[in-house]
């Protein structure tokens, strides 16, 4: 287990498995964590756009099965817990919905401070295509068009300048295409903070291209729900960059 995510990202390419507890049975969760333990999975993220169940139970199960660090990836205030190892505190800087820019953060801040979680301020940028994603719908925001990389670069720069410690380019849950490699490369070339990329990565080939384009960490959720063995393909591709 590492103690400082930002420190790890400065020196390594990382892979994070995103677990939406709404989409896993207990049996499925145990089987997926078993594969993660056998691979070079670096981080587990827990959360989703719509989580209606208490997240304490999946946290307890996950922590009983692995020493891989577990960070919260909250889609709402209902997805907070002091029993994880850390939290990506997401601000949806590609949108203009104040609740996802700062509103929910004000309500969550005292709880997060009291929890002692490792807290990483994350500028979250939704990159769009022709498919409406869960993030887009639930946040009531419009993504940056996939062919407008200059807007993505400017938004990422603004995120870094106002103090975000990570920039996260997200294709969105359910998207059919990953974030374009050209966009990843341009954003990475203009940042001094780590770059995280997720959404639409469905194969080892996709993962390789995303790492090569400049991602410091990739995040995969839906594709692994459908095929947990994909974890092994992804981590094999990651090793090529270490």
Structure confidence at residue 11 (pLDDT): 87
Structure confidence at residue 131 (pLDDT): 60
* Cβ–Cβ < 8 Å for 136, 175: no
Distance CA 72, CA 47 (A): 6
Structure confidence at residue 30 (pLDDT): 97
Q: What would be the CATH architecture of the domain defined by 5-239?
A: Alpha-Beta Barrel (3.20)
- Mean pLDDT in consecutive groups of 10 residues from the start of the chain, 242 residues: 81 95 94 96 91 87 97 91 96 95 96 96 89 78 93 98 98 79 98 97 96 98 96 96 84
pTM confidence score? 0.94
Can you give the chain as a three-state secondary structure string?
Answer: CCCCHHHHHHHCCEEEEEECHHHCCHHHHHHHHHHHHHCCCCEEEECCCCCCCCCHHHHHHHHHHCCCCEEECCCCHHHCCCCCCEEEEEEECCCCCHHHHHHHHHHHHHHHHHHCCEEEEEEEEEEECCCCCHHHHHHCCCCEECCCHHHHHHHHHHHHHCCCCEEEEECCCCCCCCCCHHHHHHHHHHCCCCEEEECCCCCHHHHHHHHHHCCCEEEECHHHHHCCCHHHHHHHHHHCCC
* Cβ–Cβ < 8 Å for 14, 219: no
């Amino acid at each position: 287990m590492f103690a400082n995510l930002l420190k790890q990202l400065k020196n390594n390419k990382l892979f994070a498995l995103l677990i939406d507890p709404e989409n896993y049975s207990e049996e499925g969760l145990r089987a997926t964590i078993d594969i993660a333990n056998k691979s070079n999975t670096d981080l587990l993220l827990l959360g989703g756009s719509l989580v209606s169940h208490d997240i304490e139970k999946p946290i307890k199960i996950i922590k009983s099965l692995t020493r891989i660090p577990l960070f919260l990836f909250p889609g709402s205030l209902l997805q907070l817990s002091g029993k994880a190892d850390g939290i990506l505190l997401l601000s949806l800087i590609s949108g203009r919905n104040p609740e996802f820019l700062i509103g929910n953060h004000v309500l969550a801040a005292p709880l997060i401070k009291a929890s002692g979680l490792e807290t990483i301020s994350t500028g979250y940028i939704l990159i769009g295509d022709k498919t409406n994603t869960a993030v887009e719908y639930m946040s009531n925001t419009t993504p940056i068009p996939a062919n407008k990389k200059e807007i993505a670069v400017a938004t990422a720069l603004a995120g870094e300048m106002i103090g975000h410690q990570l920039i996260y380019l997200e294709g969105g849950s359910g998207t059919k295409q990953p974030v374009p490699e050209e966009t990843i490369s341009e954003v990475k070339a203009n940042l001094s903070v780590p770059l995280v990329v997720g959404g639409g990565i469905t194969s080892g080939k996709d993962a390789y291209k995303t790492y090569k384009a400049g991602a410091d960490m990739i995040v995969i959720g839906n594709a692994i729900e459908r095929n947990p063995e994909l974890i092994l393909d992804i981590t094999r591709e990651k090793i090529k960059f270490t």
